[in-house]
Amino acid sequence: MTDSTTAASPTLVVVGGVAGGASAVTRARRMNEHATIIMFEKDEHVSFANCGLPYHVGGEIAERESLFVARPALFADRFNIDVRTRHEVVDIDRSRREVTVLNHTTGEHFRQAYDKLILAPGAAPIVPPLAGISASNVFSVRNVTDTDRINAFMTRAQPGRAVVVGAGYIGLEMMEQLHSRGVAVTLVELQPQVLPLMDPELAHMLEEEIAAHDIDLRLGDGISALVSAEGLATGVVLGSGETIDTDMVILGIGVRPSVQLAEQAGLSLGDSGGIHVNAHGQTDDPDIYAVGDACEYTFGPTGKQMRVALAGPANRAGRLAGEHAVTGSSAPVPRAWGTAIVRVFGLAAGMVGLTMSMARRSGLDARCCVVRANHHVGYYPGAQPVTLKLVYEAGTGRILGAQAVGREGIDKRIDVIATAMHFGATVHDLTALDLAYAPSFGAAKDPVHMAGFVAANDLAGTAVIMPIDSDLDGYQVLDVRSRDEVSGSALYGAPHAINIPLHELRERIAELDSAQPTVVSCASGARSYVATRILMQRGFNTVYNLSGGTLLRAHAISSISAGYSGPRPAPAPIPAPPVTGRRGD
């Protein structure tokens, strides 16, 4: 029986390939065998693994051919799709439903009619307008041609030094891969931390890993000029005035959505600068869709429209827009949650949703907790610590985001929380998850469970969290670590802390003033939780558990003295128990 929606034979034109465009045309064909489908790609390659480009430079992906997901011949033979590379759509005539196309090989312009049009132009690397920026040894990393240029230069010139500008995902990956090829790397980042999207205390863990690999890390300093000679960049001038000698420069500053074609056609842009679309990827013109890095998505934690320049959302949106364009119906494009992960030498850093910094900027009444637990049980060999930060809404317990750093198991924890967020979970739901457990894989109480327990306790008033970077002046501070631990690493910003090891607390509790607001700390937050419960049941009315403990506070406040002047968020009042009565462990 033939599906009635396939009886029509529309002409679908798709502008751009890679993730969004390639997903759109293949889904369109699977849903409508009778449509005429044409894809124009201005570059040489239509479908490649752009996320794998840095790893080809470093040699982890040895074969260049492995980068190609699909070539034009596969689109033609398997899907009956007309793919034309080196063809750039330069104009859209909405009234006539035609596009003007430039054939870069012949220089010819021609017109192509469409019934439906999908824009998937992607985003272009940000290249600052500096003198010398066009030198032949200054590179961006956007496509296979870029990696070909980088590899050819490195083979020819054998560079010993490189400056990587930008410490986002691409910058960190290129830093790692150049280092693996024996290049001395200087990493320059305008913001005061690497991976600026992440909260600073977790980013600092990455910075320590970077320093341990002898990378020259320059934070809080941008580039102001390039020094060049004979067509080559020989130095990078920082905003601070220092010049760093180099043999090559990699730009990883970020990307800018390619929206010029949409703007020329009179299509609306959203507040974040991407093409505005509805739930099915349609622009102001219902016959024109937009997917990928050039458009906006509904961001799950806030419900607002914003750009999310990641491959996952682009693939999913492209698939659904392709279906809708040739059948007139499809599921709506799902919300994007910003789930991402990056490897930095031996560490992995993953995140989903909002960081605490982003939640505050969004005006949400957010709280957070940090747990540090092994990725599998400690008695099984090879256990590695996972540092997991959970952000949640104060009133409802709705999960707003998570970040994790560690050497093993980071993707698993972030994926579990991302899945929970997709279904609108609260921190209480995390405590109830039935996760796989065997000694070599995890623990009966997984780090995800532990984060849920701590957050639920915080909301219930069972053990209220004090933010890790808080000013501890004016609080009675109790450090329940052992004497050896305290002598080896004092609690930053709390010279007045009273050290009573946890196993001695009940017999020495009279040394504390129950009338004073008290902050309890240990190495990670686990023993301090137990101590918090003891104090709260022994007449101490205002008690806080220092989230993440001494270990994370060292990352949160990387430079501290008696005159501490860092961030000083006020502790939140102890909340009332939730209406549901559900409590943490």
CA distance 321 to 14: 11
Token pair 């050896």 in the structure block, residue: 484
Q: Which of 51, 295, 369, 522 is catalytic?
A: 51
- Helix axis angle for 20-31 and 72-79, nearest 10°, is 10
In angstroms, the Cα distances linking 585 to 428, 438, 503, 559 are: 10, 21, 20, 35
CA distance 299 to 211: 34
C-alpha dihedral sign at 266, 268, 273, 276: negative
CA distance 564 to 493: 7
Sheet holding 476-479, edge to edge: 464-466, 543-546, 518-521, 476-479, 498-499
Report the C-alpha dihedral over residues 96, 97, 102, 103, rounded to 10 degrees: -120
List, in order, residues 6 or more apart from 76 with CB less than 8 Å away. Answer: 82, 83
φ, ψ at 119 (rounded to 5°) = -95, 120
- List of E strands, 42-174: 47-48, 68-70, 82-85, 87-93, 98-103, 109-113, 116-119, 123-125, 138-140, 161-165
Task: Tell me the CB-side half-sphere exposure of residue 146, using CA atoms within 13 A.
Answer: 22
For residue 244, what are its two tokens? 């760093």
Token pair 């009940």 in the structure block, residue: 506
CA distance 529 to 445: 16
Query: Strand 366-374 vs strand 223-229: parallel, antiparallel, or unpaired?
Result: unpaired
Evaluate whether 448 touches 430 at the Cβ level (below 8 Å): yes
List, in order, residues 6 or more apart from 116 with CB less than 8 Å away. Answer: 10, 11, 12, 13, 287, 288, 289, 325, 326
List, in order, residues 6 or more apart from 546 with CB less than 8 Å away. Answer: 466, 468, 470, 519, 520, 521, 525, 528, 553
Secondary element (H or E) of residue 392: strand 385-393
CA distance 425 to 397: 8
Evaluate whether 512 touches 519 at the Cβ level (below 8 Å): no
Q: Is 51 a catalytic residue?
A: yes
The DSSP-derived string for 452-484 is HHHHHHHHHTSSEEEPTT---TTSEEEE-S-HH
| Catalytic center residues | 51
